[in-house]
Chains A and B, each alone.
Chain A
């Protein structure tokens, strides 16, 4: 079969597919699909970046304040701080929790309380930084945790910023899910468009196909001709769609830049830094994906159609 394919002179169009599957509507529609796919991918990558930022960056850290940290805990051994750390350490909503050392706390408070806060006799609470788990916990989980902390070390405050982080993470995740759903729909529509075009090509070339079939062409030979043609048109559409999406994505990235994880340093500010790195990998993948969808759809459509011939 491989040798056979090689022996066909290049560009030999025995089925007349250059006219039956011409550079008209099909590449245009595939280009539109590729454009939408690029936007959906950008949305997916953007939401993933934000989620990671909120979760691992400064934004993800919330704090628990434990007054009288060294006093004994209610109804168990150890200090109140130990009890709070134990509660946080075992809670599934929490990725990790760490008590600030005295030095860290002092540095944090120096602007207000001076270099030696202990000397002015104000009892300082312990401060614990807390990172939420991934996926973000439901607000109810944090409420339950707060109740547990109040029971073991009354007076402990878990700041409610965590609630916001959780909601933002949930929002980012649902944005990602929407982008994935949009991508799936785009793939399905692209396959449907190619299937319809292939059927139109089959109808237009029915007589030629019957003649070739009668001369002893196999199904895979005929399906191969259609798949070749459909992949070519799909690649053309994919390239056009990705190229059209590029300026739009660059504009969007510039709009979103203030919210991005890290401000671009001068060294990063080149053209490549204008879009997240994953997008630079995914964009060239669009024409390839279009070609794959075109190839598979044409193969399946033509082989199913050919079963009507003896």
Chain B
């Protein structure tokens, strides 16, 4: 599912390349696995997730995502892979001018699903995350926690093979966080591979699972 082989990443900086943010990462995440991604701020968690959701390509080493060799895959092969990956961003990344409904429906529309199926699926999903009444609201009219739930709904609506989440409980209260964990567990049980980056040690303690721990761009623990 995910295979890192001596992967390094540095972002371009001016004419040359900036400091290396990830170094010599070698690990694999099997299909259907669940992994916590842990480490202090600035350890490289977000950069590692960016590699996984194909927002960046490795500067060195070999990376396989969903069976495709990302370092060598042609650019035109990436959109189809991205549609099989769901991402919950730390800053939500919702489209401000679209309604909650249209935000959640976006992955289905990009995938070319019929409007009838989209209406049924999105309505069901919004009911599940408790936002059925706010389907016509724009993100700006929602609280942080509600926006986060919209982001989660958008990430899972297309039943991705790989689900990545960056601090998905950051704006949720404990009950909502537990509800989210229930959803993630359920998706995982149905076969979705899941990687969740978090600072929430209490959450990790309540839901023990293998972990990838990063420090200064290096892997210090391989669960």
Which residues of A are interface residues toward B (Cβ below 8 A)? 3-4, 7-9, 12-14, 16, 19, 207-208, 211-219, 221, 307, 310
Contact = CB atoms under 8 A, between A and B. Distances in A.
A15 to B, nearest CB: 8
B107 A215 contact: yes
B95 A211 contact: yes
A120 to B, nearest CB: 92
A217 B107 CA distance: 9
Contact of A310 (B75, B84, B98): B75
Contacts of A13: 97
A14 B53 contact: no
B16 interface: no
B95 A214 contact: no
Closest 6 CB pairs of A and B: A216-B83, A216-B82, A4-B112, A16-B97, A218-B79, A216-B79
Contact of B54 (A14, A307, A310): A310
B107 A216 contact: yes
A4, A12, A14, A207 — most chain B CB neighbours (10 Å): A14
A116 B101 CA distance: 100
B56 to A, nearest CB: 6
A208 B95 contact: yes
B75, B83, B84, B112 — most chain A CB neighbours (10 Å): B112
B219 to A, nearest CB: 23
Given A3-B112, A7-B112, A216-B81, 5 more contacts: A14-B102, A208-B95, A208-B97, A214-B93, A217-B79
Nearest to A208: B95
Given A211-B95, A215-B82, A310-B56, A12 B75 contact: no
A264 to B, nearest CB: 56
Contact of B110 (A9, A208, A219, A221): A221
Given A14-B106, A216-B107, A7 B79 contact: no
